[in-house]
Amino acid sequence: MDFSWSKEQKQLLDAVQRFASQQLTRDLIEGDRHDQFDHAGWKKCGEFGIQGLPVPTEFGGLAADPLTTVGALEKLGYACKDNGLVFSINAHLWTVVMPVITAGTPAQKQKYLPGLSDGSIVGANAMSEPNFGSDAFNLGTTARRDGDKYILNGSKTWVTNAPVADLFAVYATVDKSKGPHGVTAFLVPKDSPGLVIGPRIEKMGLRTSPMSEVFFQDCPIPVENRLGDEGSGSILFTRSMTWERGCILAGAVGSQQRSLERSIRHANTRKQSGQSIGKFQHVAGKIVDMKMRLDSSRHFLYHGAWMRSMGKAGFIEAAMAKLHISDSWVKSCEDAIQIHGASGYTVEYELERELRDAIGSRIYSGTSEIQKNLIASLLGL
């Protein structure tokens, strides 16, 4: 495995970091306080090419391989402090863009991928339901075939980007008796009759990434908007979740890098008892732990992406990356706050927001406990 960057890759990664540090600089204290999604930032990212990283060039994307893509998203997470925006972009990429790339018809790709790539279309994934949670394929939302259309009825929750979305990837069952084999995916525009967006869900962290419930009340969807074959939704969702688990925390690796550098600067400049606090063993030990977590997180991220670049499924690698990076991110945020002392506990220093944002990573895309169950099953347990 060679994780060194070519000249072209390095130019792209440097450009992403430069773009984010110069263009994605809004006041996040206010943005977080008022749950403000950065529409302007989203469009800037689209114009730069972030949402089009894995999209073929014929549809307006950059056609970046998986390793280059996570490297770029890591740089985005390093230079952009808006973890909510980065999270929304990842949710859009792995649960809407990637399914269209892998299962979309030529007409669907031509219709949706250019807008999904350039920032003019915001995607949202509607899978989780109020009564089932991690039991993902036990769906209550139904899709009844009626001539040249399907009629959707049901509700979804925890739908990231829903309040600002233009296009939903919706999973429903065409035959509940078939279990996972009845699950089918659909592309549903926001203006579809019978689609209702609920009020925003107020969250502990990632407050700049909007989320809400979505309801379908006799919502007619043309057959040509079915994504893949009838009954193939469970396979499509599993594949998209593997992409998401393996890649969604690329930005968190960048965030860990930023926190480490900031903590080192503070430890070298903050004086106590006539010397910098970095000379104290407990402070130095926390910084060493942060470095260890950063490097191991980066390895898990890159190794999983390399596996997908080699055409391998990478199920266990994706779950391990999700489990390890989320835990590392939370622990390093806690250490950064402790190193900064009372100042780290204040809103002004913005470290408390990093921790609130990080905690969610142990829950979304499958909880840490679910990742352990998945890894154990893949080990034959």
pLDDT tens digits in sequence order for the chain, 381 residues long: 778 899 999 999 999 999 999 999 999 999 999 999 999 999 999 999 999 999 999 999 999 999 999 999 999 999 999 999 999 999 999 999 999 999 999 999 999 999 999 999 999 999 999 876 556 677 999 999 999 999 999 999 999 999 999 999 999 999 999 999 999 999 999 999 999 999 999 999 999 999 999 999 999 999 999 999 999 999 999 999 999 999 999 999 999 999 999 999 999 999 999 999 999 999 999 999 999 999 999 999 999 999 999 999 899 999 999 999 999 999 999 999 999 999 999 999 999 999 999 999 999 999 999 999 999 999 999
CB 141 within 8 A of CB 189: no
What does the pLDDT look like over 10-27, one tens digit per residue? 999 999 999 999 999 999
Please report the pLDDT score of residue 164 as a whole number. 98
> How does strand 226-227 pair with strand 149-160?
unpaired
DSSP code string of 64-117:
--HHHHHHHHHHHHHH---HHHHHHHHHHIIIIIHHHHHH--HHHHHHHHHHHH
Question: Distance between CA atoms of 96 and 101, rounded to whole angstroms?
Answer: 9
Question: Distance between CA atoms of 357 and 84, rounded to whole angstroms?
Answer: 8
Which residue type sits at 184? T
Q: What is the fold of 249-378?
A: Butyryl-CoA Dehydrogenase, subunit A; domain 3 (1.20.140)
Please report the pLDDT score of residue 278 as a whole number. 96
> How does strand 271-272 pair with strand 211-222?
unpaired
Please report the pLDDT score of residue 220 as a whole number. 98
Phi, psi torsion values for 149, nearest 5 degrees: -150, 165
Of 244, 242, 249, give the one whose Cα is nearest residue 361: 249
CB burial string 317-350: b at 16+ within 10 A, e below: bbbbbbbbbbbbbbbbbbbbbebbeeebeeeebe
pTM for this predicted structure: 0.96
Please report the pLDDT score of residue 266 as a whole number. 98
Of 95, 163, 157, 99, give the one whose Cα is nearest residue 132: 157
Give residue limits of the domains in the chain: 7-122, 124-230, 249-378
- Torsion of Cα atoms, 357 then 361 then 367 then 371, to 10°: -170
C-alpha angle with apex 63: 60 to 65, nearest 5 degrees?
160
CB 226 within 8 A of CB 151: no
Please report the pLDDT score of residue 134 as a whole number. 58
CATH code of domain 124-230: 2.40.110.10
Please report the pLDDT score of residue 137 as a whole number. 74
What does the pLDDT look like over 244-272, one tens digit per residue? 999 999 999 999 999 999 999 999 999 99
Catalytic residues: 244
Please report the pLDDT score of residue 143 as a whole number. 97
Phi, psi torsion values for 6, nearest 5 degrees: -75, 170
CB 105 within 8 A of CB 224: yes
Inter-helix orientation angle 281-309/250-269, to 10°:
160
CATH 3.40.50.1820 assigned to 7-122 = no
What does the pLDDT look like over 54-101, one tens digit per residue? 999 999 999 999 999 999 999 999 999 999 999 999 999 999 999 999
